[in-house]
């Protein structure tokens, strides 16, 4: 069983609030990823990191930001949440060609 | 045209039926992943393939590198197999990202 954790699992928050979605892995993987998934749609890469102090934007433009201060921790932040940010956010890590996924955070902005 | 195509998009089956989900891709890959996503949103990695065939319980995954095609088979399907099955590929060049198919929504009825 992979050890990659996301918190919270579900979040309902008002417009304009700042939120941070947490992602942690205990496997020591350098490569970590954030994906966004709208209902019934495929996953889209929004951020990735190849190690500490390395972050890059993904294929899908996102107003969120990420940081990678520690190998095991890859949080995603929205400075001012909007209803358009309502989606599911999935965190993943990779070791060679293997991929491990978190349980996801379902975010609703009202 | 998506780089990873899955078929069918939706699939219903009676308990006990043999199920096949197909995945075709158009990019060079280092590995292909079959993932399972349940309604709660979390993703579980079922298989990672770079060649040949793998079996785990009632699940079988095959890949044909020359034809750029993979299949996921479920034998003796059960209602608990109901989920979205996603094909994803690790590209062999570029930024080492995962490219996802749109998923196949499977519903198995008792």
Summarised one tens digit per residue, pLDDT across range B70-88 is 999 999 999 999 999 999 9
B25–A contact, CB cutoff 8 A: no
Question: Which positions in chain B touch A31 (Cβ < 8 Å)?
Answer: 96
At residue A77, the pLDDT reads 97
At residue B95, the pLDDT reads 58
8 Å CB contact of A101 and B45: yes
- CA torsion sign for B10, B2, B62, A35 is negative
Strand order in the sheet with A19-25: A4-7, A19-25, A76-78, A65-66
8 Å CB contact of B42 and A102: yes
8 Å CB contact of A98 and B95: no
8 Å CB contact of B97 and A59: yes
Question: Which positions in chain B touch A102 (Cβ < 8 Å)?
Answer: 42
At residue B94, the pLDDT reads 57
In 3D space, the residue among B32, B24, B30 whose CA is nearest the CA of residue B2 turns out to be: B24
pLDDT lower than 70: segments of chain A: 1-2
Instruction: Give one DSSP letter per residue of chain B, joined into a string.
Output: --SEEEE-SEEEEETT--EEEEEEE-S-EEEEEEEEE-TT--EEEEEEESSEEEEETTEEEEEETTTTEEEEEESS--GGG-EEEEEEEEESSSS--EEE---EEEEEE-
Task: Kindly report which listed range (B29-33, B53-57, B84-88, B97-101) carries the lowest average pLDDT score.
Answer: B97-101
Question: Who wins on pLDDT, B109 or B30?
Answer: B109
């Amino acid at each position: 069983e992979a050890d990659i954790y996301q918190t919270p699992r579900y979040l309902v928050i008002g417009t304009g609030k700042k939120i941070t979605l947490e992602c942690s892995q205990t496997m020591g993987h350098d490569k970590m990823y954030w994906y966004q998934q709208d209902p019934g749609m495929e996953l889209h890469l929004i951020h990735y990191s190849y190690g500490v102090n390395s972050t890059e934007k993904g294929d899908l433009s996102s107003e969120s930001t990420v940081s990678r201060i520690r190998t095991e921790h890859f949080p995603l932040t929205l400075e001012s949440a909007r209803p358009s940010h309502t989606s599911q956010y999935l965190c993943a890590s990779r070791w060679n060609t293997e991929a491990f996924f978190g349980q996801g955070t379902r975010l609703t902005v009202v | 045209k998506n780089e990873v195509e899955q078929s069918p998009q939706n699939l219903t089956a009676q308990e006990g039926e043999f199920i096949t989900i197909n995945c075709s891709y158009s990019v060079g890959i280092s590995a292909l992943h079959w993932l399972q996503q349940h309604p709660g949103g979390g993703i579980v990695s079922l298989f990672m393939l770079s060649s040949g065939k793998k079996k785990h319980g009632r699940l079988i995954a095959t890949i044909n590198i020359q034809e750029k095609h993979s299949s996921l088979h479920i034998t003796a399907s059960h209602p608990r197999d109901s989920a979205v099955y996603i094909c994803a590929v690790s590209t062999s060049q570029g930024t080492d990202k995962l490219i996802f198919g749109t998923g196949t929504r499977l519903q198995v009825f008792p």
